[in-house]
Structure 1
Amino acid sequence: MGLPMLRRCCGCLSLEIGCFVLCILSTLACVGYIIAGSWNLPRHRQRELEDNLISMTAVMFSALSAVSNAVALAGVTARRPGCLQLALVFNSVFILCIFLVAIVTCLFSPELAPYMKEPGNIALVVLLLIGGAVFSMYYLMVINSLYRKMKMSYSETLPM
């Protein structure tokens, strides 16, 4: 089952503008995640080896997702459906890996253990993970819709 085809982004924007805006927002989120992951690397304090590995993994997948977002931005601005398809495939894998790293961090990090004992903090983490998943799914749906729209419009204009 494929992703649904959208006609507009956020109900009022065209798919091109909406995809452009969502690509920029997703890139900014990746940059923020890179900064947060880099801050937790062992430059300013000593940590467990596993925590450093988790931070490096988060930085790596966030950087790869940011590159994939840049490819999607290039596909939107240059009207290249191939770039959108490439960004769609790779970004879906990278987003999944980022969420897995976030879940592993929340479950197994000893630094977060005191904070994860309070129900309010657990609820906040769950809400943030669900919100990120909803944004990511919507982002992928918009990219997929724009890709399919470009593919349909280009295939109708080319002679067979």
Structure 2
Amino acid sequence: MSKARDHFENAIQDAERILQAYDHLNQMEGREREPEELKRAALIMTLTAWETYVEDAIEERLTADLRTLEGSKVANFIKSTLENELKWFNTPNSKNTKGMFERFLHQDVTEKWTWIDGDADQARSKLNQWIKKRGEAVHRSINDTQATHLVSRPDMKKCLIFFKKLVETTDLAIDQS
């Protein structure tokens, strides 16, 4: 297991603990409303864990690949280029993730995302849907208490399972290259 995946496993626990808090508060008697903001927070933390995984995985593998060039101008240039690009990598959708892996590791990891009926396009599409929901959760607060919630509790369970599998599959793809 890569260090990046290990860090992801630790980070995803934050989202799971937020959902546990949601479940606890939601079961309390006499509450005025459902603590919907905790589900949004769990969604944001899940996608943040994914974004950090992608950044860490590329940096970890690139550092290993450049070990023999350590200290050279070439290695320093490549590392500084990655560092600069990661500053702007804040939307880890399928296109941007594919681009970062191709640019720095010459690998399209998204081709390996085939656990959903053997179809990588479905996994890419699902990732993009979650990214869109994260954007809504970050930038839009729900003011209407009667409105449908952005993400349901069962959806958050699916979200966690999806990203755990996405990281597992991506990590395996990197190892196999």
TM > 0.5: no
Q: Which TM-score applies when normalising by structure 1?
A: 0.39
TM-score (norm 2): 0.36
